[in-house]
A and B are shown apart, each in its own frame.
Chain A
Amino acid sequence: MQDKNSSNTTNFSSNSNATKVQLHINKTTLHLHVMPWVSLLDAIRDHGKLTGTKKGCDHGQCGACTVICDGKRILSCLTLAVMKDCSEITTIEGIANGEVLHPLQTAFIEHDAFQCGYCTPGQICSAIAMLEEGKADTRDEVKEQMSGNLCRCGANTNIIDAIMEFKDKRNE
Chain B
Amino acid sequence: MNNFTYQKVSNPNDALNKISKNNAANFIAGGTNLIDLWKYNLAHPKTLVDINGLNDYKIIKEDEHGGLFLGALATNSDTAYHKLVEERYPLLSKAILAGASAQIRNSASNGGNLLQRTRCYYFYDASSPCNKRNPGSGCPAKNGLNRIHAILGTSEDCIAVFPSDMCIALAALEAVVHVKSPDGEREIEFSNFHRLPGDTPELDNNLKVNELITGISLPSEGFAENYSYLKLRDRNSYAFALVSVATGMVLENNKITKIRIALGGIAHKPWRVVAAEEFLVDKSPTEENFASAANMILKGAKGFGKNDFKIELSKRAIVRNCIMALHPESQRPGAQPSL
Interface residues of A (CB under 8 A from B): 17, 19, 35-37, 39, 58-60, 63, 66, 72-75, 78-80, 82-83, 126, 130, 133, 135, 140-141, 143-150
With A73-B106, A78-B32: A59-B39 Cβ-Cβ less than 8 Å? yes
Residues of A within 8 A of B77 (CB): 72
- Nearest-neighbour CB distance to chain A for B236, whole angstroms, equals 8
18 contacts between A and B (CB under 8 A): A35-B3, A36-B5, A59-B36, A63-B103, A73-B103, A75-B32, A75-B104, A78-B107, A79-B31, A79-B107, A83-B52, A126-B102, A126-B103, A140-B332, A143-B333, A144-B237, A147-B238, A147-B334
From 23 to 58 in chain B, residues with beta carbon under 8 angstroms from any chain A beta carbon are 28, 30-32, 35-36, 38-40, 48, 50, 52
A35 to B236, CA, bound (A): 38
Whole-angstrom CA separation of A35 from B103 in the bound complex: 24
Whether A74 lies near B106 (C-beta < 8 A) is yes
- For the complex, give the distance between the alpha carbons of A35 and B5 in Å: 9
From A59, A72, A74, name the one whose CB has the most chain B CB atoms within 10 angstroms: A74
Residues in chain A near residue B40, CB distance under 8 A: 59
B4 and A83 contact, CB distance less than 8 A: no
| B238-A37 in contact (CB<8A) | no
Closest partner residue, chain B, to A72 (CB atom): B106
Interface size class of B (residues with CB under 8 A): 20 to 34
- On chain B, the residues within 8 Å of A150 by CB distance are 238
Query: In the complex, A95→B333 CA distance in Å?
Result: 28
Contact of B36 among A78, A82, A130 (CB under 8 A): A78
Nearest chain A CB to B176 CB, angstrom units = 29
CB-based contact B237/A78 at 8 Å: no
Instruction: From known contacts A75-B103, A140-B333, infer whether A82 and B35 are also in contact, taking CB-CB under 8 Å.
Output: no
- Judged by a CB distance under 8 angstroms, whether B326 is at the interface is no
- Find the B residue at minimum CB distance from A71: B106
The smallest C-beta distance from A77 to any residue of chain B, in angstroms, reads 8
**Residues of B with C-beta under 8 A to A35:** 3
A36 touches B48 (CB 8 A): yes
| Residues from chain A with Cβ under 8 Å of B6 in the complex | 19, 36, 80, 82
Cβ of A147: which chain B residues have Cβ within 8 Å of it?
Answer: 101, 236-238, 334
Q: Which residues of A contact B4 (CB under 8 A)?
A: 36-37
Q: Across the A-B interface, give the 7 residue pairs with the lowest CB-CB distance, nearest first.
A: A148-B101, A147-B237, A36-B6, A144-B333, A147-B238, A72-B106, A144-B334
Which one, B3, B52, B102, contacts A73 given CB within 8 A?
A: B102
Q: Are A17 and B332 in contact (CB under 8 A)?
A: no
Please tell me if the beta carbons of A66 and B103 are within 8 angstroms of each other in the complex. yes
CA distance in complex: A144, B335 (Å) = 10
Minimum C-beta distance from B309 to chain A (A): 24
Residues of A within 8 A of B50 (CB): 82-83
Which residues of B are found within 8 Å of A83, using beta-carbon distances?
A: 28, 31, 50, 52
Minimum CB–CB distance from A69 to chain B (whole Å) comes to 8
A148 touches B35 (CB 8 A): no
Contacts of A144 in B (CB 8 A): 237, 333-334
- Specify the chain A residue showing the minimal Cβ separation from B108: A78
> Is the C-beta of B304 less than 8 angstroms from some C-beta in chain A?
no
Tell whether B193 is near chain A: CB-to-CB under 8 Å.
no
In the complex, A141→B102 CA distance in Å? 12
B126 adjacent to chain A (CB < 8 Å): no
Q: Which of B4-24 contact A (CB under 8 A)?
A: 4-6
Q: Are A130 and B48 in contact (CB under 8 A)?
A: no
For residue B224, CB closer than 8 A to chain A, the reply is no
Q: Is the CB of B39 within 8 A of A148?
A: no
Cβ contacts B236-252/A at 8 Å (1 or 0 each): 11100000000000000
B99 CB to nearest chain A CB (Å): 11
- Give which listed residue, A37, A79, A143, contacts B3 with CB less than 8 A: A37
**Is B31 touching A80 in the complex (CB atoms < 8 A)?**
yes
Task: Name A135's closest neighbour in chain B (CB-CB).
Answer: B81
With A74-B107, A78-B107, A80-B31 as known contacts, state yes or no: A17 contacts B5, CB within 8 Å.
yes
Residues of A within 8 Å of B103, CB to CB, are 63, 66, 73-75, 126, 148
CB distance from A32 to the nearest CB of B (A): 14
The distance in angstroms between the C-alpha atoms of A63 and B218, with both chains bound, is 32
12 additional contacts (CB under 8 A) given A147-B236, A150-B238:
A19-B6, A35-B3, A36-B4, A59-B36, A63-B103, A72-B77, A74-B103, A80-B6, A80-B28, A141-B333, A147-B101, A147-B238
A79 to B332, CA, bound (A): 31
Q: A73-B103, A140-B333 are in contact. Are A148 and B32 (CB under 8 A)?
A: no
Contact call B104/A78, Cβ cutoff below 8 A: yes
